[in-house]
Amino acid sequence: MFEPNTKVVILTGAGISAESGIKTFRASDGVWENHRIEDVATPLAWMKNPKMVWEFYQGRRKQLLEVDFNVAHRALVELEKYLEDHFLLITQNVDDLHSRAGSERLIHMHGELRKLRCEKCENIVIAMEKSHLTDKFVSCEKCSSNRLRPHIVWFHEMPFKMNEIYDAVERCEVFMAIGTSGHVYPAAGLLAIAKDVGAHCIGINLEPPENVDLFDEFHQGLAGELVPELISKWIKK
């Protein structure tokens, strides 16, 4: 059972969204939705073939209109309401399902599909209207650029808000990883940091992740089944 003042940090990965119908990314085989990672998820790929990268991410962005959050996303909202400012949710996922479920204390460390960013002036916009989801590049309304890029952290780029993330993990009392494979860094390294500062570390995943030995407790199974059940017990008064 969590006390309302327990400092809790949650890290979520592809596994929690897979149950909503979003395909997971597996770095081990280097393929994402029939594309090589090198061809669609690096700055060099954007430089060499922006049209292919753009069309790939437009497909991922359109998919957001076809899926919805699940009970695991919603259970984390209930935990946030219980813990309030003592709660932080960090997600590796670029979908918007946490936000749609109601999460507010949320960091998208790898960016967000629903947003585009100007390469020149760094202006960030939410761009999910029908006119934004075609194969044509979207222009920046603040400067002369005729091409916004996906607001996504590609391989070889630094994830967002890492200082804020490290600060929260170093101060947390409970660290929970849900649906993460444990091999995408620096996210995978957060568990070791939490362990070093004495946090109680909990893992939930369909399969044991690479860093499973660092967890104080590991629950194997579907996030949609395990997360609501565990959170219900933790916040029961």
What range defines the domain where residue 1 resides?
A: 1-22+69-110+158-237
Q: What is the CATH number of the domain that holds 38?
A: 3.30.1600.10
Write out the catalytic residue numbers: 110
* Residue that terminates a domain, selected from 152, 175, 203: 152
Count CB atoms within 10 A of the CB of residue 56.
20
Percent helix, percent strand, percent coil in the chain, to nearest 5: 40, 20, 40
**Residues in CB range of 51: below 8 A, 6 or more apart:** none
One domain, residues 232 and 140: no
Instruction: Tell me how many helices (H) and strands (E) the chain has.
Output: 9, 11
One domain, residues 133 and 219: no
One domain, residues 122 and 179: no
State yes or no: cis peptide before 209, omega within 30 of 0.
Answer: no
One domain, residues 30 and 138: yes
Q: What is the CATH number of the domain that holds 224?
A: 3.40.50.1220
> Rounded CA gap, 108 and 55, in Å?
22
**Residues in CB range of 61: below 8 A, 6 or more apart:** 113, 114, 128, 133, 150
**Residues in CB range of 203: below 8 A, 6 or more apart:** 176, 177, 178, 180, 191, 209, 212, 215, 217, 218, 219
One domain, residues 13 and 106: yes
One domain, residues 123 and 198: no
One domain, residues 182 and 210: yes
Give, for all 237 residues of the chain, the pLDDT tens digit. Answer: 688 999 999 999 999 999 998 876 554 444 456 677 778 899 999 999 999 999 999 999 999 999 999 999 999 999 999 999 999 999 999 999 999 999 999 999 999 999 999 999 999 999 999 999 999 999 999 998 889 999 999 999 999 999 999 999 999 999 999 999 888 889 889 999 999 999 999 999 999 988 999 999 999 999 999 999 999 998 875
One domain, residues 124 and 11: no
One domain, residues 54 and 43: yes
One domain, residues 53 and 42: yes
Total domain count, the chain? 2
Residue 31 per-residue DSSP state: E
One domain, residues 126 and 234: no
**Per-residue confidence (pLDDT) for residue 237, from 0 to 100:** 53
One domain, residues 196 and 122: no
SS (H, E, C) 147-193: CEEEEECCCCCCCCCHHHHHHHHHHCCEEEEECCCCCCCCHHHHHHH
